[in-house]
Amino acid sequence: MSVLHSLPWLGDAWQQLSAREASPAHALLIHGAEGIGKLALGRAWAQRILCEATPGAFACGQCDGCHWFLGGQHPDYRQIQPEALAGVEVDAELPVSASKTAKPSLEIKVDQIRALPVFLNTQSHRGRRRVVVVHPAEAMNTNAANSLLKSLEEPPSGACFILVSNNRDQLIPTIRSRCVDIAVVSPSWSTALDWLKKERVDDPEIWLGLAGGAPLLARDRAEHADAKRVLQLVTALRSCDRGALEAWNPTDRVELELFTELLQKYAHDQVRLLGGGASIFFPELKIKNNPTLPKERPNNDRPGPARAASLVAWLSYARHVGKQRSLASHPLNPRLFALDLLSGLPQA
C-alpha cells in the first residue's frame, strides 16, 4: 500500500519527487507544516530508492530491500533524529510533550552526523544507493549542521540525503542551497477532518483545531495519554470560564506548558475573530457565541465599541501570555503561575 493511499494529499509532493527521477538529486529538502506527513513521505521515497524490484511508481513492498526497510533494518538506510523522537511511529512528527521525568534531547547532535561518513563511504550492502533521512532538519544544532554541510558539499557517490523540515527558514542558507526543494502542501480542513474520522479519532474537530489543521499532529494529540486532561481544558476555554480554568489546576511543568500553549492559542483566536478574521485553533468560536463579548442585539452584526475594546484587551493579553510562555518551563509553582496568568484574562 503506497503512502498516497494512507495520506492522499501528498500526491503533488510525490509527483515532484518522481519528476526528478531521471537525474536524481543527492539532497532533497522536504518541507511544510508540522504534522502533515512529511516524514512518511520522506521514508516512502527512501524505500522507493532502496526497492530492488523493477522500478514502479512506488516501492513494491515485497522484495528483500522492502522487507529490510519495513523491518527497520535496511543496512543502506539511516534515520537521524533527536533522542526525544526515538521510537516515534512512522507517521508521527513531533512528541506532544516531553516525558515528565527524563529529558531526552530535542536536538540533533554533532556526533549523530559525524558517524555518517563511515556509513556513506562504505560500499552499499545491497548494491544500490545509500539513503539518510534527517528529521526534523532544523533540530540540528550549529555543529551538526556544519558537519552535515561538509557531506552535502562533497557527497559520497550513491548517497542520497533527505532532509525533512517543519521550518525551512531555520536551516542555514548554505544547506538550503544544496538541496532540491520539495514543498508539501497541507490538506484542506475537510480532507483532514475526513481522514481523522476514518482513523476513528473521537472529537476530530477539536483535535484538528488544536493542531492548526494538521491531521497527523491532531491524531497524535488525541491518542496521547493526556488527551482527557486536554479536553477538560478545551471545554473550560470554550466558555472562557475563569472558575473552570482555575479548577483545571496544572499539576506539573508539562501540564503548565500545555496550559500556557492552549491559553495562547485561545487568545490568538480571539484576536483573529475580533479583528474580522476566522479562528484557527478553536474552530467553533465565533463572534456570535463569543463568551467574552456582551450579548449583541439580534440582527446587529456590526462591530461596536464593546468589540473594539475587547480586541485591544485580547491583543495585549495574547502578548502577555506569549512572553510568559517562555518562562513556563521553569516555574517555581505551576499553580501560582497559572493563577497569575488567569488573573489578566479579558472577560465580558
Footprint on residues 22-51 left by Zn ion (CB under 5 A): 51
Q: How far is the CB of 23 from Zn ion (least distance, A)?
A: 22
Do strands 77-80 and 130-134 pair parallel, antiparallel, or not at all (unpaired)? Answer: parallel
Q: How far is the CB of 47 from Zn ion (least distance, A)?
A: 7
Q: How far is the CB of 243 from Zn ion (least distance, A)?
A: 59
> Strands, DSSP E only, in the chain?
27-31, 77-80, 130-134, 159-165, 180-183
Of 4, 63, 106, 315, the one binding Zn ion (CB under 5 A) is 63
Does 53 contact Zn ion by CB under 5 A? yes
Q: How far is CA 214 from CA 111, 113, 142, 209, 251, in A?
A: 32, 29, 28, 8, 28
The answer to whether the Cα torsion of 261, 262, 264, 265 is positive or negative is positive
Q: Closer CB to Zn ion, residue 62 or residue 329?
A: 62
Residue 92 DSSP SS3: coil
Q: How many residues bind Zn ion (CB under 5 A)?
A: 6
Q: Closer CB to Zn ion, residue 66 or residue 85?
A: 66
C-alpha span between 228 and 175 (Å, rounded): 41
Does 66 contact Zn ion by CB under 5 A? yes
Task: Say which residue the cell 470560564 belongs to.
Answer: 241
Does 244 contact Zn ion by CB under 5 A? no
Does 172 contact Zn ion by CB under 5 A? no
**Cis bond upstream, residue 334 (ω within 30):** no
Does 60 contact Zn ion by CB under 5 A? yes
Q: What's the farthest any 2 CA atoms get from each other in the chain? A: 75
| Interface stretch with Zn ion, choices 64-72, 123-131, 249-257, 279-287 (CB under 5 A) | 64-72
Q: Which residues contact Zn ion by CB under 5 A?
A: 51, 53, 59-60, 63, 66
